[in-house]
């Protein structure tokens, strides 16, 4: 395990807990329901095939809501860390909101996609999208009416896994923030990071499912823990 002073390369994984204090609901706090919907009804390819209007409307509402939210002190602190950290840094997020970017972070990888993108299943081009999809608008690239949310649904492959694992291979420190550790492959990153020799730290409201795998864990609100940790890192 690396000593603190030797830390150059950091991989951070964030989940819904980092955006909770910006008013975006987490997934696993309300009896398995996500915004009053069962996940299987809105976040699977089968759901989209069965009832595309339900799924498109659901994401249209979330896309609209996310644009009314603002980054909190945890996002802002991670933005400062990204700007001030001279070593390598990769902020892998499971979140599909854009609050890390609006909080100033640049080295962000959205492994579960982005609310503010639409993906054309006809030409495979992704376009920045702030409006609605329910009316089946034309793809700006090819003109076909085959846009869907650019979101990784259950049963689909998360994005850019090769980049994530190569960053984990180089990481001296892996930090997991605001994620329950319930959804793979992200939940497995801590084990990979450990196996590859990185130190591991958890910052979460409560112990996550994988909490025993971390060298250190601090439990509390992200808006308190993350700025404290960032100040320590930028020292
Ligand atoms: N500060 C820190 N942690 C918090 C806060 C907070 N203010 N509020 C909640 N948390 C913690 C919860 O205790 C929980 O452990 O954040 C975690 C959120 O867990 P989940 O709701 O399971 O969210 P996440 O881990 O991001 O889910 C992973 O599941 O449905 C999918 O694709 C979706 O990306 C998502 C994935």
14 ligand 1 Cβ < 6 A? no
* Best residue among 205, 208, 225 to mutate for probing ligand 1, ranked by most atoms within 8 Å of CB: 205
* Best residue among 14, 149, 155, 179 to mutate for probing ligand 1, ranked by most atoms within 8 Å of CB: 179
Cα 178 to middle of ligand 1, angstroms: 5
The predicted pLDDT at position 65 comes to: 95
- Using CA positions, which residue lies closest to atom 25 of ligand 1? 179
Separation of alpha carbons 36 and 199, rounded Å? 38
* Best residue among 12, 14, 15 to mutate for probing ligand 1, ranked by most atoms within 8 Å of CB: 15
pLDDT tens figures, 135-176: 999 999 999 999 999 999 999 999 999 999 999 999 999 999
* Average pLDDT of the chain, as a whole number: 94
Cα 231 to middle of ligand 1, angstroms: 23
The predicted pLDDT at position 40 comes to: 78
CA distances (Å), origin 42, targets 93, 154, 176: 21, 10, 26
227 ligand 1 Cβ < 6 A? no
The predicted pLDDT at position 25 comes to: 85
**Alpha-carbon radius of gyration of the chain:** 18
30 ligand 1 Cβ < 6 A? no
% of the chain residues with pLDDT over 70: 95
pLDDT tens figures, 12-69: 999 999 999 999 988 876 555 666 778 778 899 999 999 999 999 999 999 999 999 9
- Residue 88's pLDDT band (cuts 50, 70, 90): very high
Ligand 1 atom index nearest CA of 95: 34
**Is residue 112 a contact partner of residue 96, using CB atoms and an 8 Å limit?**
yes
- Residue 7's pLDDT band (cuts 50, 70, 90): very high
134 ligand 1 Cβ < 6 A? no
- Residue 129's pLDDT band (cuts 50, 70, 90): very high
Tokens of 3: 């000593």
The predicted pLDDT at position 5 comes to: 65
Prediction pTM value: 0.96
The predicted pLDDT at position 108 comes to: 98
CA distances (Å), origin 218, targets 18, 43, 90, 142, 148: 14, 31, 21, 49, 38
Least confident range from 26-40, 119-133, 142-156, 194-208: namely 26-40
Q: Which residues are catalytic?
A: 112
């Amino acid at each position: 395990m690396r000593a603190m002073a030797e830390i150059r390369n950091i991989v951070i994984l964030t989940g819904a807990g980092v955006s909770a204090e910006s008013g975006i609901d987490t997934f696993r706090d309300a009896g398995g329901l996500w915004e009053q919907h069962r996940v299987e009804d809105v976040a699977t390819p089968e759901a989209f095939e069965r009832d595309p209007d339900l799924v498109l409307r659901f994401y249209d509402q979330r896309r609209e809501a996310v644009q009314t939210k603002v980054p909190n002190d945890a996002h802002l602190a991670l933005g400062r860390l990204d700007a001030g950290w001279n070593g390598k840094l990769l902020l892998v997020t499971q979140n599909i909101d854009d609050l890390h970017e609006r909080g100033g972070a640049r080295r962000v990888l959205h492994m579960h996609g982005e609310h503010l993108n639409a993906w054309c299943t006809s030409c495979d081009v992704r376009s920045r999208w702030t409006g609605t999809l329910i009316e089946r608008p034309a793809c700006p690239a090819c003109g076909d009416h085959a846009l869907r949310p650019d979101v990784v649904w259950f049963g689909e492959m998360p994005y850019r896994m090769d980049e994530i694992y190569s960053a984990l291979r180089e990481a001296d420190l892996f930090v997991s923030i605001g994620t329950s550790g319930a959804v793979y492959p992200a939940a497995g990153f801590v084990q990979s990071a450990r196996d590859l020799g990185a130190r591991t730290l958890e910052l979460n409201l409560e112990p996550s499912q994988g909490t025993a795998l971390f060298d250190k864990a601090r439990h509390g609100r992200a808006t308190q823990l993350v700025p404290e940790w960032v100040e320590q890192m930028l020292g």
